[in-house]
């Protein structure tokens, strides 16, 4: 039935657009107003203005169709079947299509032939993008997350042009980072001593069981690694090691010996320090062949005296040589920047070579070719530097590279339009801009050489499908999974969220209030000054302390390993849909999950062993499967000591159904306040919520959120299954505001996956568009979203329908030429940005 209504809608849509622009107001009075009168006026006209909505409050037709925000709300409520309410008469599919189309064509003025691509504000690279771009451009790791302040988010994502500001502090950091990065990445000489590096892990015992990454002072070991020498000569061996003791003192001592072949280089005694660097440097004349560097650790204190621990750690060995100049070679990373083996000698040859080098680099850094004037200026910067006495050509070029990395054309994604486009038609973005949109969307980094070359030859659009396939197959596409899922499902937050395991479990068992009382009494006793405490009080205090210790028995620990497994589970679920091109409905309901032993145990799924996360077929009737019941979602929507049905409900509305609840009014009491109204017993969360929403002010919103959240009450704040909360059985049954009933979570998933699946299609489409475009979805995108949803429906929800739909859409492919529509965004649409921002 729903499918039918869709086809109908599309057909009607096609008819209506053919009508042309005549008799707009008549259109409304004749075909739309009667429907609105019969379905909406009862509550929203003639002085009855429920929810502050009045259909008859406009001063005239012009006024009526100017209010985009009003009609966008009407459209959303109508489509989500929130309005007219469940118990009232609803328009037929035909009638609904009539209203929808009138809104799209007459209010929003959408032209399906020339959809408005909207306006993306110039986007600055965010921290993830900056870090990845530096890696690909410069060949080094830069820790943007430590160096730069966090990016602001809008619409729930951190790549939104409007909110990516450049503070004075950030600019300063950019300037400093440009310098640091170039210094680290760009060689300033053409030849250096060759160097072989080895980590401590590469130093192994004869049987291979022990390596030198970390060896206890109580465990003797002999480990070695062999270095190959091709040319005879002088070599330098730099050893970077250290003593790493436990926090508390340990009497351990050990003799550390380094030998090259049979020659002892150093033998020294070491003792406990909590962190101490040990560095050696030796120069040796070596003949061609293999040379083995051996490290021996001899314990000097028997293990019986061990108190805590102390280890020797071999970090790195640099084996350099031959030291003689004639054997030197290119430093690492040299070829990334410099095409020739050596810079030429003559002045004009050097300038020419500098021009070549910089042209090549700038095209990659700016993601499009630069004009000659820019290159000439950069060459001057380089030449001014390398003309100084003692400065190399490479050092000069590196100065120019600093300027490139500080340029707004590197830090911002500048987009140009293709020429032409025809009168009144929105032009396509040019191919370089397209290359960047694709690469930052799917890889969170700069376009690679293949994309840039195709764009340069103007062949990217014609090869779009093949390139998409290649980009998704590339491992850089993991960035898309991590960053999109990380923000859409908030899996990024799993690692940091604070959950008190003991309190959660105590609450499930109905012991939380007793524990609270015991803790309060303990604190009271503890604060009595030692001089005043009575023997009875002292005794009570000792007992309380012992009780606490006893209770610190085995518990569930939401540690890093488990958190990471939860994060990976949700990411892998999404990745599976993406890579196997499955239906996105499986994100709601599936008969499989991604688990390892730890997570499976946490979920109560049997027969999963080992640390590797993998696809697991779930037992029949398992409540798991799909993101709703994934640990990451359950945990990030909880409070530190208990679940939050409200947070969970809002999460489902916002992230799955695309039905944002209005923001809470000011001065609402929190749930714990409502708890106080229960005198006779400790209320369950469901009872408390019911008390809270008995107030009319709270009811309308909570009716939307609570049934969804309460359906998840079978999962505690750690994401574990439970049958009771505070000793009372969980009652997960409920009814959606749209009328569908469910008895528990499995049934709710089925309802969402069938009856409400179009809501999910639309929601995920809007999320993906937001992420891909770097702007919020606006009323003028309605047609684009409708088209993608229709495509998903046609192609059984396959992920490719969504992804290709977004990439082929006008907003992704085109831009508003100048600023002509720039101020069309209504102030209300800004309001929406705030509501859906996840980090207010």
Give the binding site for another protein (CB under 8 A): 119, 121-122, 124, 145-146, 149-150, 152, 154, 161-163, 165-169, 171-172, 175, 178, 247-249, 271-275, 277, 374, 377-378, 381, 384-385, 388, 399, 402-403, 406-409, 411-412, 414, 495-496, 498, 818-819, 822-823, 827, 830-831, 833-834, 837, 839-840
Distance CA 153, CA 163 (A): 7
Sign of CA dihedral 679, 681, 684, 687: negative
Q: How far is the CB of 403 from another protein (least distance, A)?
A: 4
Distance CA 134, CA 186 (A): 12
Nearer to another protein, 149 or 739 (CB): 149
Query: What tokens appear for 528 in the block?
Result: 């009595």
Q: How far is the CB of 178 from another protein (least distance, A)?
A: 8
User: Which string of b and e fits 295-312 if b means at least 16 CB within 10 Å?
Assistant: bbbebebeeeebeebbbb
- CA–CA–CA angle 368, 776, 712 (5° rounding): 125
Helices (DSSP H) in 118-277: which residue ranges?
127-138, 144-147, 168-185
Nearer to another protein, 146 or 667 (CB): 146
Distance CA 820, CA 824 (A): 9
Distance CA 421, CA 817 (A): 10
Distance CA 725, CA 713 (A): 8
Q: How far is the CB of 146 from another protein (least distance, A)?
A: 7
- 35-39 contact pairs (CB < 8 A, 24+): 35/91, 35/95, 35/98, 35/99, 36/99, 38/89, 39/84, 39/88, 39/89, 39/90, 39/91, 39/95
Nearer to another protein, 194 or 358 (CB): 358
Distance CA 387, CA 391 (A): 7
Nearer to another protein, 207 or 820 (CB): 820
Nearer to another protein, 49 or 837 (CB): 837
Q: Are strands 253-260 and 263-271 parallel, antiparallel or unpaired?
A: antiparallel
Nearer to another protein, 14 or 175 (CB): 175
Q: How far is the CB of 367 from another protein (least distance, A)?
A: 14
Q: How far is the CB of 822 from another protein (least distance, A)?
A: 4
Distance CA 214, CA 208 (A): 14
Nearer to another protein, 528 or 834 (CB): 834
Nearer to another protein, 379 or 803 (CB): 379
Using DSSP's 3-state secondary structure scheme, residue 308 falls into coil
Nearer to another protein, 167 or 283 (CB): 167
For residue 375, the surrounding DSSP H or E stretch is helix 372-386
Distance CA 72, CA 184 (A): 52
Q: How far is the CB of 271 from another protein (least distance, A)?
A: 7
- Tokens 């003991």 label which residue? 502
Nearer to another protein, 245 or 322 (CB): 245
Nearer to another protein, 302 or 827 (CB): 827
Q: How far is the CB of 377 from another protein (least distance, A)?
A: 6
Nearer to another protein, 272 or 484 (CB): 272
Angle between the N-to-C axes of helices 449-456 and 464-473, in degrees from 0 to 180, rounded to the nearest 10 = 170
Nearer to another protein, 66 or 414 (CB): 414
| Closest of 629, 663, 623 to residue 646, by C-alpha | 663
Q: How far is the CB of 167 from another protein (least distance, A)?
A: 8
- CA–CA–CA angle 201, 205, 206 (5° rounding): 135
Nearer to another protein, 19 or 277 (CB): 277
Q: How far is the CB of 241 from another protein (least distance, A)?
A: 14
Nearer to another protein, 374 or 770 (CB): 374
Distance CA 319, CA 282 (A): 10
| Closest of 279, 720, 791, 806 to residue 508, by C-alpha | 720
Q: How far is the CB of 201 from another protein (least distance, A)?
A: 21
Distance CA 350, CA 343 (A): 7
Nearer to another protein, 272 or 480 (CB): 272
Distance CA 127, CA 147 (A): 9
Q: How far is the CB of 161 from another protein (least distance, A)?
A: 8
Contact 487, 838 (CB under 8 A): yes
Q: How far is the CB of 785 from another protein (least distance, A)?
A: 22
- DSSP letter at 661? P
Q: Map 394-438 to HEC letters.
A: HHHHHHHHHHHHHCHHHHEECCCECCCCCCCCCCEECHHHHHHHH
Q: How far is the CB of 563 from another protein (least distance, A)?
A: 12
Query: What tokens appear for 681 in the block?
Result: 């017993």
Nearer to another protein, 165 or 287 (CB): 165
Q: How far is the CB of 15 from another protein (least distance, A)?
A: 37
Compute CA 19 distance to the chain's CA centroid, rounded to the nearest angstrom: 45
For residue 515, the surrounding DSSP H or E stretch is helix 512-526
Q: How far is the CB of 183 from another protein (least distance, A)?
A: 12
Q: How far is the CB of 825 from another protein (least distance, A)?
A: 10
Query: What tokens appear for 431 in the block?
Result: 């191919």
Distance CA 2, CA 762 (A): 14
Q: How far is the CB of 171 from another protein (least distance, A)?
A: 4
| Closest of 206, 185, 198, 170 to residue 136, by C-alpha | 185
């Amino acid at each position: 039935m729903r499918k039918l209504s869709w086809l109908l809608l599309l057909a009607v849509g096609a008819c209506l657009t053919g009508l042309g622009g005549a008799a707009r107001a008549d259109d409304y009075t004749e075909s739309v107003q009667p429907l609105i009168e019969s379905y909406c006026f009862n509550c929203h006209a003639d002085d009855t203005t429920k929810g502050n909505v009045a259909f008859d409050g406009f001063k005239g037709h012009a006024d009526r169709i100017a209010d985009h925000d009003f009609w966008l709300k009407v459209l959303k409520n109508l489509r989500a079947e929130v309005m007219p309410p469940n118990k009232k008469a609803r328009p037929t599919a035909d009638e609904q299509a009539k209203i929808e189309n009138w809104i799209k064509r007459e209010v929003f003025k959408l032209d399906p032939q020339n959809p408005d691509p909207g306006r993306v504000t110039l986007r600055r690279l965010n921290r993830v993008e900056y870090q990845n771009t530096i890696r690909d451009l410069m060949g080094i790791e830069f820790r943007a997350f430590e160096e730069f302040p966090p990016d602001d988010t809008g619409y729930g994502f951190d790549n939104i042009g409007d909110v990516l500001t450049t503070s004075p502090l950030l600019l300063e950091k950019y300037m400093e980072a440009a310098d640091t990065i170039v210094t680290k990445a760009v060689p300033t000489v053409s030849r250096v001593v060759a160097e072989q590096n080895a980590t401590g892990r590469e130093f192994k015992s004869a049987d291979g069981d022990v390596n030198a990454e970390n060896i206890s002072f109580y465990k003797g070991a002999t480990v070695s690694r062999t270095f190959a020498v091709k040319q005879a000569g002088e070599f330098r061996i730099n050893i970077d090691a250290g003593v790493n003791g436990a926090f508390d003192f340990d009497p351990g001592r050990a003799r550390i010996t380094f030998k090259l072949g049979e020659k002892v280089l150093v033998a020294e005694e070491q003792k406990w320090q909590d962190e101490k660097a040990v560095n050696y440097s030796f120069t040796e004349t070596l003949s061609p062949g293999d040379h083995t560097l051996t490290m021996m650790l001899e314990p000097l204190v028997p293990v019986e005296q061990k108190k805590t621990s102390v280890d020797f750690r071999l970090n790195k060995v640099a084996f350099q040589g031959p030291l003689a100049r004639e054997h030197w070679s290119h430093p690492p990373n040299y070829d990334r920047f410099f095409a020739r083996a050596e810079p030429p000698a003559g002045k004009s040859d050097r300038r020419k070579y500098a021009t070549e080098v910089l042209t090549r680099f700038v095209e990659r850094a700016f993601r499009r070719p630069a004009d000659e004037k820019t290159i000439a200026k950069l060459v001057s910067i380089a030449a001014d530097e390398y003309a100084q006495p003692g400065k190399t050509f490479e050092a000069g070029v590196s100065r120019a590279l600093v300027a490139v990395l500080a340029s707004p054309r590197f830090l911002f994604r500048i987009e140009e339009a293709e020429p032409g486009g025809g009168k009144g038609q929105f032009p396509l973005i040019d191919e370089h801009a397209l290359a960047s949109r694709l690469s930052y969307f799917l890889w969170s980094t700069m376009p690679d050489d293949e994309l840039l070359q195709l764009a340069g030859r103007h062949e990217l659009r014609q090869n779009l499908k093949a390139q998409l396939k290649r980009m998704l197959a590339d491992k850089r596409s993991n960035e898309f999974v991590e960053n999109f899922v990380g923000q859409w499902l908030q899996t990024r937050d799993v690692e940091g969220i604070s959950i008190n395991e003991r309190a959660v479990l105590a609450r499930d068992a109905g012991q939380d209030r007793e524990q609270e009382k015991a803790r309060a009494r303990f604190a009271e006793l503890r604060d009595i000054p030692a001089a005043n405490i009575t023997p009875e009080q002292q005794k009570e205090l000792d007992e309380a302390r012992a009780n606490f210790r006893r209770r610190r028995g085995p518990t569930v620990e939401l540690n890093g390993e488990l958190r990471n497994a939860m994060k990976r589970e949700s990411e892998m679920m999404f990745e599976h849909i993406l890579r196997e091109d499955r239906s996105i409905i499986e994100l709601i309901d599936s008969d499989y999950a991604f688990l390892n032993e730890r997570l499976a145990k946490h979920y109560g799924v049997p027969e999963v062993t080992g640390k590797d996360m993998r696809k697991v077929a779930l037992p029949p009737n398992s409540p798991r499967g799909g993101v709703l019941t994934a640990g990451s979602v359950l945990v990030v929507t909880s409070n530190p000591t208990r679940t939050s049905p409200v947070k969970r409900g809002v999460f489902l509305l916002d992230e799955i159904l695309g039905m944002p609840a209005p923001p809470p009014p000011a001065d609402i009491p929190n749930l714990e306040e409502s708890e106080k109204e229960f005198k006779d017993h400790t209320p369950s969360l469901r009872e408390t919520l019911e008390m809270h929403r008995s107030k009319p002010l709270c009811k309308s919103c909570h009716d939307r959120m609570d049934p969804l959240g309460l359906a998840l009450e079978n999962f505690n704040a750690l994401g574990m299954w439970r049958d009771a909360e505070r000793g009372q059985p969980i009652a997960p049954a409920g009814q959606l505001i749209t009328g569908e009933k469910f008895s528990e979570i499995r049934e709710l998933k089925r309802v969402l996956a069938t009856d409400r699946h179009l809501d999910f299609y639309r929601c995920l489409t809007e999320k993906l568009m937001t992420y891909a475009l770097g702007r919020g979805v606006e009323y003028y995108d309605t047609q684009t979203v409708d088209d993608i949803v229709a495509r998903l429906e046609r192609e059984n929800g396959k992920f490719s329908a969504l992804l290709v739909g977004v990439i082929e859409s006008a907003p992704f492919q085109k831009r508003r030429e100048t600023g002509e529509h720039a101020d069309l965004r209504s102030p209300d649409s800004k309001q929406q940005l705030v509501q859906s921002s996840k980090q207010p």
